[in-house]
Structure 1
Amino acid sequence: MYWRGVPPLAALGVGLAGVTVPSFWRDESVSAAAARMPWDRLWRLLGSMDAVHGLYYLLLRPLVAVFGVGEVVLRLPSVLAMAATAYGVCRIGERLAALRVGIVAGLAYALLPIVSRYGQEARSYALVSAVAVLATWLLLDLVEGGGWRVCLAYGGSLALLGWLHLYALLLVPSHLATVLWRPSDSGSARGLWPGSGSAPVRRWAVAVAGAVVAVLPLALVAVHEQRQVAWLRTPGVMRLAGFAYRVGGSWVAVVFLGGLGLAGVVVAARSERALLRVALPWAVLPVALSFAISQVHPVYSPRYVLFCVPGFALLLGAVAGVAVPGGRWRWAAPAALVLLAVLVLPAQVALRRPDSRPDNLRAMAGTLAAQERPGDGVLFVPRPFRLFVGVYEAPLRVLHDITYARGPFLRQADRLRRIWMVSPPHRHWAGDRRCQELLHDPLFRVATSETIGRIRLTLFTHT
């Protein structure tokens, strides 16, 4: 039915709206750099700091090779993944309940601000959500009597999920809960889907074991790159509240979505239990596990659990499955969607401001372009910061980069009349030898210093 195309088209429209307006930020800058750097440099990068994103960078490379680096080019895969996820949510809702449930769930998913945020970002998180939906669809095939081909496909989807982002494998426990959650209308003593026998459990276990083996090499490399997530902190309850805020975009929207989600749970528990067995573990369990694990070893970040949002959208869609004699509530679900669209509109607009991302690299590049002179030098502190800020590279081509200059640093610096230092605000000043040499050299003085987002531009001039 053509109605199935409404959620993905809506998601595509929302994703493309203003996609070029927000500036790239540092994570997207790394994606751009990795997608266009020579193969030998890419392998060194993946071997030292970013192996967990390696598959995503490889997927970007053909696109960048043909169309170059730009907001539309780099962000388009995430926009398309957002639309694919909305379609998958719609189909799962239809399969487990009814078409109207799927349509409402898919549209609700497309409207959520957190979906737009990462659907317009040149990182892997939107693709992870799409693969999570695919894996869940294949899980349904498996528990409903699928054979070993389905088992192989399901295991492959989990392996792909892990290679796109290791922490997304927290979806696996939620799938286990779905498999083992005993339907009240089943006569099976093992708590499986009606009439499914024990074969799906064995095939699920085999598929998961195969996926673990496939992802193990990446996990072993990632163990040695833990410094890349050193910024993660042990989350408190307020961090979970912050995740809810990102989903809704405002506290009013959070309250509305919370009420709608609870109503969906109640409706699904009464009349759409198959949907409840899939959606509730999907929406809740990975977030809870991520939070619990993070009390010992921090792994929690809102973007790392974005793949749970489709499960929540299915619970929102469940309200469309309420059966009331006389059809008095047939317009309740559309009205709820309209109200949701109104409530999230301010957040959607805010997400599309040029400075809505943590870094405004476009503004930084504009400042450099306006103030730099031919022959100026540039110093990135710390050295890898070049990856984090270099996506708008036109102004950087004018500058003489001394970040990796060989020999005594001041001998290289003394050849320049002006040096731009690009760094986080003060964070690395005390511990960076090159910066300290500039600060204590009587021939150099700080002429200007400006903070743009989370980046500081400092101009040293030679007297």
Structure 2
Amino acid sequence: MTAYTPSVDETRDQAPDEGGPHAERRRTGDGPGRASAWLVFLLPTLAAAACVLPGLGGRQLWRDEHATWWASSLSWHDLGRLIDNIDVVFTPYYASMHLWIAVAGDSPAALRLPGALAMAVSAGLVGLLGRRMFAVRTGLLAGLLFAVVPAITRYGQEARPYAFATLFALLATLLLMRALDKPSLRTWTLYALAIAATGFSHLVAMSVLAGHLWLVFLAKKRGDRIAHYAFAGAALLGLSITFPMVAQGTGQSGQIAWNVTTTKDLTSFPENLFGSWITGGAVMALGVIGLLVAGRYSVLLAAWAVLPPVLTFVTANQLHLFLPRYLLFTIPAWTLLVAAALTRLVGRLDPEARRGTGVQVVGGVLVAAVAAGYAFVAWPGIGDAKKDLPMEPDYRAAANVIADGEKSGDGMIFNGGMSERRAMAYELRDRKAPEDVLMEWTPQQNGSYGASECKKPDRCLKGVDRLWLVSTISDGRPLLTGMNEKTADAIEKSFKAGRTVKLNHVVVQVLERK
């Protein structure tokens, strides 16, 4: 199996981005080619790390991150029971985080560090991909733009698997391009494993394979007679590795049925995907222009950037997968398109087409100016991404209120539907917490995230003189609204309301026995 090398006559008629007969050797070999590879990888990686790592533990965890902590902190036996009932698609992530927590602990910064590093490396991979597709300056600009997108900071600072889905989608694309250029059993096997890793990170990210089909089509068109067979074998291997998880996950799809998509979700998609309207609108507008100049890679990038949102939107009522964070892996395609459009302004994307140093200097200035300008515009969004989510309850402050006023023998109860019990378990994990007096069956016993409360609340409340109520009910009646009627009657009969502390979307109330 040998890579196809165009003749001199063929290269004379190539599109600007196709590259000459020595372009691949120059970009991937030793000497200046290797130096440029390190350049386009390291600068975006460092830029992304500079955005993501500062303040990594500042923003408090929100409910999905509490789920990560809870599942990853379980014993292997209890984790197995959990994923047998729910969240089987996150099994590899939870298992990895279980091992990570054993080493690094479970502080907010420690929980988020793996994702932050994955996002930083993703920026470097964007740079390498742009360099391989187009030119060094194109890759460098694409990687730097990716690094300063506010959503990259937001989800780089999140203990969820979306950064890994982005990382492995990029890695799979790079490995496919290498396998098509320099075929070998090792490279195709690595590509298959990258596909599996992408699926294990998030199933939606596997839609990147649609764009991969185009690269295989181009290879076959160039005369590679077995590329499509090798691709089919590698893709089937990768898919077969993830199939058991996918098969079991289809039976748990009801857990995301809450995600009902509306037209407003579509119109606000650019803002929610990129982190702000100005950054999302600018990238998508220039990205459309990039489709016109991306040459043979336009179909790949279009399929990567556009197809996943379209497919998840049209199937939203059935699959409920149209969520911006599920589609984070499409941002690299958009930044590559923007970089292709902008670098085209100063000449052909093929580095061998340049003559002299003048164009190179102009290109370097362009990369620096655009990256700096976009970073300046995106900076407020990056700052906002590090703040507590405005619609999430302030459980950290609630925990402080309880820890400061808790006395021996106190109990704690919960009301609302915002995972109050799990959140308070995290925030009070290293402090003495009041007993969860109404919990009869633990989440571990249920094989779920939720506990079962006492069917005879009078019995469970016996001997408790003071309760801490943590409620996310905001209608002024934190105890009664939404609570089990029998439980509410038992509490009202025996307890009276005392001190009440109202925080962001959560109320802490002391209930004292009458």
Pairwise same-fold verdict (TM > 0.5) = yes
Partner of 1:432: 484
Deviation, 1:178, is: 4.2
Output one character per residue of 1:266-289: Cα deviation in whole Å (capped at 9) or x when no partner: 332xxxx24434322211111111
**Contact 1:22-1:357 at 8 Å conserved across structures:** no
Does residue 1:286 correspond to 2:308, yes or no?
yes
Following the alignment from structure 1 to structure 2, what is the Cα–Cα distance between the partners of residues 376 and 223? 43
Does residue 1:333 correspond to 2:367, yes or no?
yes
Does residue 1:138 correspond to 2:175, yes or no?
yes
**Contact 1:24-1:357 at 8 Å conserved across structures:** no
TM-score (norm 2): 0.79
Does residue 1:251 correspond to 2:251, yes or no?
no
Q: Does the C-alpha gap of structure 1 residues 137 and 438 become closer, same or farther in structure 2, counting only changes over 3 Å?
A: farther
Unaligned runs of 5+ in 2: 1-34, 348-353, 441-453
Partner of 2:513: 462
**Contact 2:44-2:123 at 8 Å conserved across structures:** yes
**Contact 1:244-1:254 at 8 Å conserved across structures:** yes
Following the alignment from structure 1 to structure 2, what is the Cα–Cα distance between the partners of residues 317 and 120? 25
Does residue 1:349 correspond to 2:383, yes or no?
yes
Following the alignment from structure 1 to structure 2, what is the Cα–Cα distance between the partners of residues 432 and 201? 60
**Contact 2:312-2:319 at 8 Å conserved across structures:** no
**Contact 1:245-1:251 at 8 Å conserved across structures:** yes
Q: Does the C-alpha gap of structure 1 residues 161 and 343 become closer, same or farther in structure 2, counting only changes over 3 Å?
A: same
Deviation, 1:402, is: 1.8
**Contact 2:305-2:333 at 8 Å conserved across structures:** yes
TM-score (norm 1): 0.87
Deviation, 1:128, is: 1.1
Deviation, 1:205, is: 2.3
**Contact 1:232-1:298 at 8 Å conserved across structures:** yes
| Count of equivalent residues | 447
Say which SS state the counterpart of residue 266 (structure 2) adopts. helix
Of 67-76 and 88-97, the range deviating more from structure 2:
67-76
Deviation, 1:155, is: 2.0
Q: What does 1:305-316 align with in structure 2 at a 5 Å threshold?
A: 305-316=327-338
Partner of 2:291: 265
Partner of 1:214: 241
Does residue 1:196 correspond to 2:230, yes or no?
no
Say which SS state the counterpart of residue 232 (structure 1) adopts. coil
Following the alignment from structure 1 to structure 2, what is the Cα–Cα distance between the partners of residues 193 and 240? 37
Deviation, 1:69, is: 1.2
**Contact 2:207-2:304 at 8 Å conserved across structures:** no
* Equivalent residue letter for 1:306: L
Deviation, 1:449, is: 5.4
Output one character per residue of 1:334-381: Cα deviation in whole Å (capped at 9) or x when no partner: 222111111111111112224557343322222322343332211245
Output one character per residue of 1:230-262: Cα deviation in whole Å (capped at 9) or x when no partner: 2211242x3133231134433333332233323
Unaligned runs of 5+ in 1: 183-190
**Contact 1:96-1:274 at 8 Å conserved across structures:** no
2:458 is matched with which residue: 410, 428, 432?
410
**Contact 2:165-2:201 at 8 Å conserved across structures:** yes
Deviation, 1:13, is: 1.2
**Contact 1:360-1:452 at 8 Å conserved across structures:** yes
Following the alignment from structure 2 to structure 1, what is the Cα–Cα distance between the partners of residues 69 and 106? 7
Q: Does the C-alpha gap of structure 1 residues 230 and 423 become closer, same or farther in structure 2, counting only changes over 3 Å?
A: farther
Q: What does 1:353-368 align with in structure 2 at a 5 Å threshold?
A: 353-355=387-389, 358-368=392-402
Partner of 2:50: 13
Of 202-211 and 92-101, the range deviating more from structure 2:
202-211
Following the alignment from structure 1 to structure 2, what is the Cα–Cα distance between the partners of residues 200 and 457? 63
Partner of 1:296: 318
Does residue 1:420 correspond to 2:468, yes or no?
yes
2:125 is matched with which residue: 52, 72, 88?
88
Say which SS state the counterpart of residue 162 (structure 1) adopts. helix
Following the alignment from structure 1 to structure 2, what is the Cα–Cα distance between the partners of residues 114 and 195? 41
Deviation, 1:64, is: 1.3
**Contact 1:430-1:436 at 8 Å conserved across structures:** no
Q: Does the C-alpha gap of structure 1 residues 118 and 102 become closer, same or farther in structure 2, counting only changes over 3 Å?
A: same
Of 350-359 and 201-210, the range deviating more from structure 2:
350-359
2:434 is matched with which residue: 390, 393, 399?
399
Q: Does the C-alpha gap of structure 1 residues 289 and 451 become closer, same or farther in structure 2, counting only changes over 3 Å?
A: farther
Q: Does the C-alpha gap of structure 1 residues 449 and 395 become closer, same or farther in structure 2, counting only changes over 3 Å?
A: farther
Following the alignment from structure 2 to structure 1, what is the Cα–Cα distance between the partners of residues 235 and 507? 46
Following the alignment from structure 2 to structure 1, what is the Cα–Cα distance between the partners of residues 105 and 328? 28
Following the alignment from structure 1 to structure 2, what is the Cα–Cα distance between the partners of residues 145 and 202? 15
What RMSD in Å do the two structures reach over aligned CA positions?
Answer: 2.8
Q: Does the C-alpha gap of structure 1 residues 102 and 111 become closer, same or farther in structure 2, counting only changes over 3 Å?
A: same
Deviation, 1:124, is: 0.7
**Contact 2:416-2:483 at 8 Å conserved across structures:** no
